[in-house]
């Protein structure tokens, strides 16, 4: 498949929610081999293409997506679909860029193009596996940062999964509801981040960015429970 748009459209039509990327990985391996790469699925499930010799450069993208169906279509010259931007598009770009070097016999180094799995999951399984397998002189990561921009750094992420239990209590009584305990914890986290950010500078990259991802309460009639997920970048 020599047309970049056709390649990306085909990729978008193969669902690949985190943890279920096998069908897309197999498709990509077939395309990589047709384009002149040595293509294979590695032990983590990543789609990998290798070509060339000498100093090694890794072009790392990810092929998984978050859930949700975005109908694949081309409208006003723009291709839409789940993962078109984040990040099947960047990975397709890596493939086709190196394919052009292959076709023009202009390879001057060893290229490894990796379509990683589980990037949208907390595991980052594909990237962790790749980091242990390669020692490139350079690694370019394909993520949405604008077609004409280069991102120079990534913020890490901390996820907090918290659960509180307490005996069931009547709402007319003095005992605070269990949900209030989670809200109080969230407020404490947010206040801590605000205090840190006061001396961290104005750049978002230098700041702690907390988000309350979810909060859920339940009760069996005897015990009240609340669970919450907080993310910090």
Write out the catalytic residue numbers: 64, 119
Describe the strand order of the beta sheet including 210-219 as a list of residue ranges.
Answer: 158-167, 223-232, 210-219
Distance of alpha carbon 223 from alpha carbon 5, whole angstroms: 55
Query: What is the β-pairing status of strands 73-75 and 158-167?
Result: unpaired
What are the contacts of 218-223 at 24+ separation with CB within 8 A? Answer: 219/168, 221/168, 222/167, 222/168, 223/165, 223/166, 223/167, 223/168
Q: Which tokens sit at 97?
A: 């860029």
- 15 CB-near residues (< 8 Å, 6+ apart): 23, 24, 65, 82
Distance of alpha carbon 132 from alpha carbon 150, whole angstroms: 25
Query: What is the β-pairing status of strands 78-80 and 73-75?
Result: antiparallel
């Amino acid at each position: 498949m020599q047309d970049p748009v056709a390649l990306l459209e085909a990729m978008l039509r193969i669902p690949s929610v985190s943890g279920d990327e096998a069908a897309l990985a197999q498709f990509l391996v077939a395309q990589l081999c047709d384009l002149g790469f040595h293509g294979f699925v590695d032990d983590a499930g990543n789609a990998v293409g290798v070509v060339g010799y000498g100093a090694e450069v890794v072009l790392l993208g990810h092929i998984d997506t978050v859930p949700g169906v975005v109908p694949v279509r081309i409208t006003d010259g723009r291709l839409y679909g789940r993962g078109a931007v984040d990040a099947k598009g960047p990975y397709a770009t890596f493939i086709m860029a190196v394919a052009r070097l292959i076709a023009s016999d202009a390879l001057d180094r060893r290229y490894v193009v990796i379509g990683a799995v589980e990037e949208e999951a907390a595991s980052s399984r594909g990237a962790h596996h790749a980091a242990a397998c390669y020692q490139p002189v350079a690694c370019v990561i394909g993520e949405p940062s604008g077609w004409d921009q280069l991102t120079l750094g990534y913020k890490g992420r901390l996820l907090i999964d918290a659960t509180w239990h307490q005996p069931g209590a009547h709402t007319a009584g003095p005992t605070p509801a269990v949900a209030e305990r989670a809200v109080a914890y969230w407020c404490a986290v947010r206040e801590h981040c605000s205090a840190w950010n006061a001396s961290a500078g104005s750049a978002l990259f230098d700041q702690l960015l907390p988000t309350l991802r979810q909060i859920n309460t339940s009760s069996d009639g005897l015990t009240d429970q609340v669970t919450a997920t907080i993310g910090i970048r």
